[in-house]
Copies of this chain bind each other. A is one copy, B any other.
Amino acid sequence: MASARRILLLSSSTVHGSAYLEYAATFIKDFLKKSDVKKILFVPYALKDHNDYTNKVRGPLKELGYAVEGIHEAPNAIEAIKSAEAIYIGGGNTFQLLKTLYDLNLIQPIQDRVLKDGIPYIGSSAGSNVATASINTTNDMPIVWPPTLTALGLVPFNINPHYIDFDPDSKHKGETREERLSQYHEIPGTPPVLGLREGAILHVEGNVAKIIGVFGAKLFKPGCEPKEYNVGDDVSFLL
């Protein structure tokens, strides 16, 4: 795949006990510094109220030194992608997000900017799901129906954000996360799934991928035992 890509995929925008993006601040700054980013194009489509959401994100990112433009504020969304210095797609409902990206014909423009032009892409939760091969491994409710679950394909595998281990004390009878992922992998041809714990970040530079952030990840592959990866581990073999 394209080696220009620069990608930072967060499991979650927040970890317990800290403010929006607080745990990720130094990772985001380090990541964006390399591309000399001053202004971030924020994509709020995963939530219903785009103004509200953009305003919530603007403060924390301004404190880090970035101006934020909401893509919905731009006269033309495709043009906004074409001229963006960096793209940040926030969390919310993954189906709603992907449907909107398709409805507004933004898939190809984002792919071009990230894979060809090498502008930085940051995703959080749903924004990380849509960066991968497909959203088949979202945790979200299918509140709307996108034309396909195939996503941006900026990386060739899937992510499960907010990954959480089985709680042995739980009395709940719904499937565990691990059961859900193993049911996915019963289907022929499904890609590996990287379960990112809240606080885990996947950092991709060209053909090098690493787990950074404050917590690790668990990798699921068809027919294999799940395998743990810790902060600092190289997972470039997934690319």
A interface, CB within 8 angstroms of B: 12-17, 47-48, 92-93, 95-96, 135-145, 148-149, 162, 164, 171-175, 180-181, 183-184, 186-187, 190, 198
Contact = CB atoms under 8 A, between A and B. Distances in A.
Contacts of A138: 141-142
A149 B140 contact: no
A136 B140 contact: no
B171 A48 contact: no
B142 A183 contact: no
A149 B141 contact: no
Contact of A48 (B144, B162, B180, B183): B183
This chain's copy number in the assembly: 2
B183 A198 contact: no
A162 B141 contact: no
Given A93-B183, A186-B48, A173 B15 contact: yes
A174 B142 contact: no
A187 to B, nearest CB: 6
Contact of A183 (B13, B143, B172): B143
A221 to B, nearest CB: 15
A48 B198 CA distance: 30
Q: Which of A14, A141, A143, A175 has the most CB of B within 10 A?
A: A141
A200 to B, nearest CB: 12
A148 B145 contact: yes
13 contacts: A14-B173, A93-B183, A96-B183, A135-B142, A137-B143, A138-B142, A139-B141, A141-B180, A141-B184, A143-B180, A143-B183, A143-B190, A144-B187
A173 B191 CA distance: 26
B137 A141 contact: yes
Contact of A162 (B16, B140, B172): B172
Contacts of A148: 145
Nearest to A199: B173
A187 B143 contact: yes
Nearest to A170: B16
A222 B143 CA distance: 13
Nearest to A137: B141
